[in-house]
Amino acid sequence: MSKHHVTTKINGEETEFLCETQETLLDVLRNTLNLTGSKEGCASGDCGACSVIADGTLVCSCLMLGVEAEGKSITTVEGIAEGETLHPVQRQFLEHAALQCGFCTPGFIVATKALLDANPDPTEEEARYWLAGNLCRCTGYDKIIRAVMDAAAEMRGEARAA
Amino acid sequence: MNYIIPQSELKIVGTRPVRPDGVDKVTGRATFGADMTLAGMIWGKMLRSPHAHARIISIDTSKALALPGVRAVVTAADFPDIASEEAFVGEGPMNFRDLSRNCLARDKVLYEGHAVAAVAAASQSVAEAALELIDVTYEVLPHVIDVEAAMAAGAPILHEDMFTVGIEPKPTKPSNVAKRVAFAKGDAEAGFREADVIVEGRYTTQPVHQAYIEPHACLAQVAADGQAHIYSSTQGQFMVRAYCAKVLGWEIADIRSYPMEIGGGFGGKTLVYLEPVALALARKAGRPVKMVMTREEVFRASGPTSGAVIEVKLGARRDGTIVAAREVLKYQAGAFAGSPIGPGCMCGFAMYDLPNVDVVGYDVVSNRPKVAAYRAPGAPITSFAVESAMDDLARKLKIDPIALREMNGARDGSKTHYGVTHRDIGFLATLEAARSHPHYSAPLKPGQGRGVACGFWFNIGGESSGAVHVNEDGSISVVSGNPDIGGSRASMAMMAAEVLGVPIEHVRPIVGDTASIGFSHLTGGSRVTFATGMAVTQAAERVVDQLKQRAAQIWEIPPEAVEWKDGKAYPAGLNAGAFEPLTLAQIALKAGRTGGPISSEVTLNAQGAGPGFGCHICDVEVDRETGHVKILRYTAVQDVGKAIHPSYVEGQIQGGAAQGIGWALNEEYIYDKDGKMENAGFLDYRVPVASDLPLIEAVMVEVPNPRHPFGVRGVGEVPIVPPMAAVANAIRAATGLRMPDLPISPPKLRAALDAAAGAKAA
């Protein structure tokens, strides 16, 4: 079984990899490219721990094949911060203690960035529905939602919302 | 020393710094169980039983072994057949023989998903192909899933050698009832005769899974001389080491166990499933072997907690004094004995000062995965029943439900029905805080309902180790032996920083592997901030003593003449001499010339964990068309002792409440007629998502535990105890319907609403 050669862009860098036909993008990220920030919680698109942004669209990388990354631009959790400078979403998650075990956190960070890219001023309800595809079993979502709302406010240049 | 002092006198404890492991977790750098890789690593996969109950006639692995890329296959035949031996760990009993047979079935498979054989191969796809080539011949046996069916005469027997313990005379026939336990105080029969009002109910709960988002994962490596490394996602690296040694028949010192970052556990990672098998594969293959469960495997073969049937009877005088209480509990243990029936029998009535109590419990096996600890094991189940009955009693007596609990609530000196007398508890303070919270008196709209319920958990102490090292530049390393599930590293660093008087940024905490720190009992029982925090605090105090001694040496004065304040040594008073204060960094720099490295490791067996109490207030709205319950507002009040890092204490309370809401409304194991689980995935086993919940207000009541230097009580388990009854009581208030069967899912509630409407119309 010969592997496929894929050329893509990951976190702004031109990247090439070989993958088997049935390998998911998540498998490739984790096992071939050693980008283990994206997590596998279910492999069925239900938990969102593997969330990445592909050409501007939020996707579960466990539901996308590695070969489908051909020619696309992929952002993973490793590409959210600008060098050593954390993205406001990352900083607000830390300040709000919006994580406990931290396993779902990469997915939430990526999904929140995608939300705020699409809707810089979400209501709490909009944020909750957007993030309904990301499961967190530790926090009860309270501090996550507060972090998201404050990150949104910060990115809009407003004072702290809560 | 004691630091139970006003918050204004504390510099670090009680504040909310960013957690030390935070940046790694928001940037994807944190290394969890499945993220680890070693050179030459191959992949292990497990073959699992398709049957709920069957005898294994034969296992033929020859075709799998012949597949190119397959490096090793193991079955139970590769492991010693170990004798029955009870070990008490975590929060419940564990039998090593059962543990071994749960890791790989021997003779019989006892549930769908029971591990039968394992393969290690060059790639995941080859390993999966090899599993299909393993030929297992089964003789399928009749199975039993439900707890009362398993107790009935003529039920299929899982274990021919199981004779109910706790019954006199000893039974002559085997059964699925592993154990009967009973607790009594006073004379319940006489108590019920005195009662003016009696409420009774029969309640059922379904098994629910801990549903940590990270599936079980490990990586094993074994050298030619038998020395092994195991990296895993676990609540206890020492537990992994001990259990693997036991199941494999190896020496403990030959296994070095590394705790990776853990993606949630909630009790479900307090035992081993994959680790001994991965080690056996790694030894056979001569290569490091990684094993990661799929989500389906997590559901079918790990956890969950018990489903149960509970009968409750309460008797009270007209003034609200409860004079008698009775409870019968039947808990599912899964395929092997060991449900949390003990805590189940204790926790329901532990909150109340009752003269006459009679509780009987049964531990029952059936063809389901063996239950694992889940957050306050046993307590949420019993409290769903008791707190629902308390609500009915309050209604019948026309007494406010919080007032009824205040009248009967346990206070200092109250003796429980299991023999323990409560001391320094904060139940009444918690109830008072709930009653006076604005939520409790906020107006409701028509069709909405409010419920309250309470919860109790013992919390535990136990064996812990903590080390504090002063580095050459005066920065501090803190090492503990407990995996950090919810931010405990932050708490360890904060307690050490407070004692040392240094900024939190100079204190870096790590979780050590089994060769880097002394033995520590696993992370569970809400024990880490209490017990391991005690070890770290004492280690920091010993470091302060050393720092004072070194300063004394430099100044050539007696150590008693040195004072430690704000991270500096000062001469104590004018008589000590006039010296410029020495900072911790200055003393550290000279450590080599004043006696060598400055550090301390403390090992202890912490006693005096203070129990915790919670009271939750829940508002709901019921959609009568669909039976859907919307949680409108939720407030969780809890006695937390002392919150070291309040944000993470709130997080525990909010997270526990959310899990309880899922337990109340959605979560359950659904089986088909063949005993196969039908909803082994997050689509059909529905845990709460962000859009299901409101903000959850956590109210921390601080009644310090006098037996911890900072007043800490465990906080992680109490908050999952009240929600099921709080939700059910709110639904009762909104609809007039008492829903005694969990989960109160839309179809069930709609059917009840329709039936009630039909009865009214007729």
Condensed to tens digits (0 to 9), the pLDDT of residues A70-128 reads: 999 999 999 999 998 999 999 999 999 999 999 999 999 999 999 999 999 999 999 99
Which phi and psi angles does B647 have, rounded to 5°?
Answer: -60, -40
- The amino acid sitting at B501 is G
Tell me the C-alpha distance between B306 and B372, whole Å. Answer: 8
For the purposes of burial, counting CB atoms within 10 Å of the CB of B365, is it exposed (0-12), middle (13-18) or buried (19 or more)? Answer: buried
Average pLDDT, chain B: 97
What is the structure's pLDDT at A65? 98
Instruction: Mark yes or no for CB contact B261/A101 under 8 Å.
Output: yes
For B464-488, write each residue's pLDDT tens digit.
999 999 999 999 999 999 999 989 9
Tell me the C-alpha distance between B698 and B455, whole Å. Answer: 15
Q: Are B262 and B269 in contact (CB under 8 A)?
A: yes
The verdict on residue B529 lying in a domain is yes
Instruction: Mark yes or no for CB contact A46/B681 under 8 Å.
Output: yes
Percent of chain B with pLDDT over 70: 99
The verdict on residue B172 lying in a domain is no
Restricting to A residues 29-88, those with a Cβ less than 8 Å away from any Cβ of B are 30, 34-44, 46-47, 49, 76-78, 80-81, 86
Strand order, beta sheet including B197-205: B177-185, B357-365, B322-334, B308-316, B197-205
Is residue B89 predicted with pLDDT exceeding 70?
Answer: no
Tell me the C-alpha distance between A126 and B99, whole Å. Answer: 46
Tell me the C-alpha distance between B740 and B721, whole Å. Answer: 16
Q: Please, which residues bridge with residue B313 across strands?
A: B200, B326
The verdict on residue B257 lying in a domain is no
Token pair in block for residue B549: 């001694």
Per DSSP, helices labelled H in B563-714 are 584-589, 646-665
Q: How confident is the model at residue A161 (pLDDT cuts 50, 70, 90)?
A: very low
Type and span of the H or E element at B519:
none
Q: Is A15 on the interface with B (CB under 8 A)?
A: no
Token pair in block for residue B622: 């019921």
For B370-427, write each residue's pLDDT tens digit.
999 999 999 999 999 999 999 999 999 999 999 999 999 999 999 999 999 999 999 9
Q: Is A108 on the interface with B (CB under 8 A)?
A: no
The verdict on residue B585 lying in a domain is yes
Q: Are B747 and B464 in contact (CB under 8 A)?
A: no
Question: Could you identify the residue written with the tokens 């001994």?
Answer: B276
What is the structure's pLDDT at B455? 98
The verdict on residue B125 lying in a domain is no
SS3 at position B324: strand
Token pair in block for residue A37: 């920030």
Tell me the C-alpha distance between B117 and B105, whole Å. Answer: 8
Nearest to B668 by CA among B680, B676, B654: B680
Is residue A159 predicted with pLDDT exceeding 80?
Answer: no
Structural domain harbouring B561: 7-30+462-604
| Helices B723-735 & B379-397 angle (0-180, nearest 10) | 30
Least confident piece of the model among A64-73, B82-91, B279-288, B424-433: B82-91
Is residue A147 predicted with pLDDT exceeding 80?
Answer: yes
The DSSP-derived string for B387-428 is HHHHHHHHHHHT--HHHHHHHHB--TTPBPTTSPBP-S--HH
- The amino acid sitting at B519 is F
Q: Is B298 on the interface with A (CB under 8 A)?
A: no
* Residue B566 CA: distances (Å) to CA of B211, B364, B500, B563, B585: 44, 57, 7, 10, 12
Helices (H) and strands (E) in chain B, counts: 20, 28
Nearest to B24 by CA among B574, B591, B623, B484: B484
| Helices B746-761 & B723-735 angle (0-180, nearest 10) | 30
What is the structure's pLDDT at B88? 65
The DSSP-derived string for A19-60 is E-TT-BHHHIIIIIS--TTS--S-SSSSS-TTEEEETTEEEE
Q: How far A36 CA sits from the closest chain B CA (Å)?
A: 6
**Mean pLDDT confidence for B99-115:** 98
Residue B160, Cβ neighbours under 10 Å: how many?
8
Q: What is the DSSP letter of B532?
A: I
Q: Are B286 and B235 in contact (CB under 8 A)?
A: no
Q: How far A56 CA sits from the closest chain B CA (Å)?
A: 19
- The amino acid sitting at A54 is A
Q: Write out chain A residues lying below 8 Å of B693, CB-based.
A: 128, 140-142
The verdict on residue B593 lying in a domain is yes
Is residue B349 predicted with pLDDT exceeding 80?
Answer: yes
**Mean pLDDT confidence for B734-747:** 98
Percent of chain B with pLDDT over 90: 97
- The amino acid sitting at B260 is M
* Residue B134 CA: distances (Å) to CA of B58, B125, B367: 10, 15, 23
SS3 at position B546: helix
The DSSP-derived string for B691-715 is GG---EEEEEE----TTSTT-----
What is the structure's pLDDT at B101? 98
The verdict on residue B559 lying in a domain is yes
Q: Are B71 and B42 in contact (CB under 8 A)?
A: yes
Closest residue on chain B to A103 (Cα): B263
Compute the radius of gyration of chain A from its Cα atoms. 16
What is the structure's pLDDT at B760? 81
What is the structure's pLDDT at B574? 83
* Residue B528 CA: distances (Å) to CA of A99, B334, B447, B485, B509: 18, 28, 43, 10, 14
Q: Write out chain A residues lying below 8 Å of B29, CB-based.
A: 37, 78
Peptide bond into B169 cis (omega under 30): yes
B493: domain CATH number is: 3.30.365.10
* Residue A94 CA: distances (Å) to CA of A99, A147, B467, B756: 8, 8, 26, 49
How many residues are given for chain A? 162
For B579-605, write each residue's pLDDT tens digit.
999 999 999 999 999 999 999 999 999
Token pair in block for residue B501: 């008087």
For B649-695, write each residue's pLDDT tens digit.
999 999 999 999 999 999 999 999 999 999 999 999 999 999 999 99
Q: Is B645 on the interface with A (CB under 8 A)?
A: yes
* Residue A143 CA: distances (Å) to CA of A128, A133, B643, B654, B696: 12, 17, 17, 9, 9
Closest residue on chain B to A22 (Cα): B125
**Complex ipTM value:** 0.97
Partner-chain residue, chosen from A104, A132, A143, that has the shortest CB–CB distance to B213: A104
Partner-chain residue, chosen from B485, B487, B687, that has the shortest CB–CB distance to A135: B687
Instruction: Mark yes or no for CB contact A137/B687 under 8 Å.
Output: yes
Instruction: Mark yes or no for CB contact B28/A144 under 8 Å.
Output: no
Tell me how far apart the terminal alpha carbons of chain B are, to the nearest angstrom: 71
Is residue A158 predicted with pLDDT exceeding 90?
Answer: no
Type and span of the H or E element at B643:
none
Tell me the C-alpha distance between B29 and B37, whole Å. Answer: 14
Q: Where are the beta strands (DSSP E) in B572-668?
A: 582-583, 599-606, 612-622, 629-639
Average pLDDT, chain A: 96
**Mean pLDDT confidence for B2-7:** 93
* Residue B194 CA: distances (Å) to CA of A88, B187, B220, B321, B519: 64, 11, 63, 11, 53
Token pair in block for residue B1: 């020393």
For B270-291, write each residue's pLDDT tens digit.
999 999 999 999 999 999 999 9
Q: Are B662 and B375 in contact (CB under 8 A)?
A: no
Tell me the C-alpha distance between B500 and B552, whole Å. Answer: 17
Count of domains forming chain B: 1
- B736 versus B486: which is more confidently predicted? B736
Is residue B90 predicted with pLDDT exceeding 80?
Answer: no
Which phi and psi angles does B701 have, rounded to 5°?
Answer: -100, 125
Q: How confident is the model at residue B1 (pLDDT cuts 50, 70, 90)?
A: confident
Is residue A162 predicted with pLDDT exceeding 50?
Answer: no
Say if strands B135-140 and B54-60 run parallel, antiparallel, or are unpaired. Answer: antiparallel
Nearest to B724 by CA among B613, B616, B612: B616
pTM > 0.90: yes or no = yes
The verdict on residue B60 lying in a domain is no
Q: Are B389 and B197 in contact (CB under 8 A)?
A: no
Question: Hey, of B15, B19, B21, B27, which one would you mutate to test binding to chain A, going by the most A CBs within 10 A of its CB?
Answer: B27
| Residues in Cβ contact with B584 at an 8 Å cutoff, skipping those fewer than 6 apart | B470, B474, B500, B501, B502, B547, B567, B568
Type and span of the H or E element at B329:
strand B322-334
Q: How confident is the model at residue B92 (pLDDT cuts 50, 70, 90)?
A: low
Tell me the C-alpha distance between B46 and B67, whole Å. Answer: 16
| Residues in Cβ contact with B761 at an 8 Å cutoff, skipping those fewer than 6 apart | none
For B10-37, write each residue's pLDDT tens digit.
999 999 999 999 999 999 999 999 999 9
Q: Please, which residues bridge with residue B325 across strands?
A: B314, B357
Question: Could you identify the residue written with the tokens 């409010």?
Answer: B450
**Mean pLDDT confidence for B549-562:** 96
Question: Could you identify the residue written with the tokens 């104590």?
Answer: B572
Type and span of the H or E element at B346:
helix B341-350
Question: Hey, of A100, A104, A143, which one would you mutate to test binding to chain B, going by the most B CBs within 10 A of its CB?
Answer: A100
What is the set of domains in chain A, with CATH numbers?
4-79 (3.10.20.30), 88-155 (1.10.150.120)
What is the structure's pLDDT at B94? 82
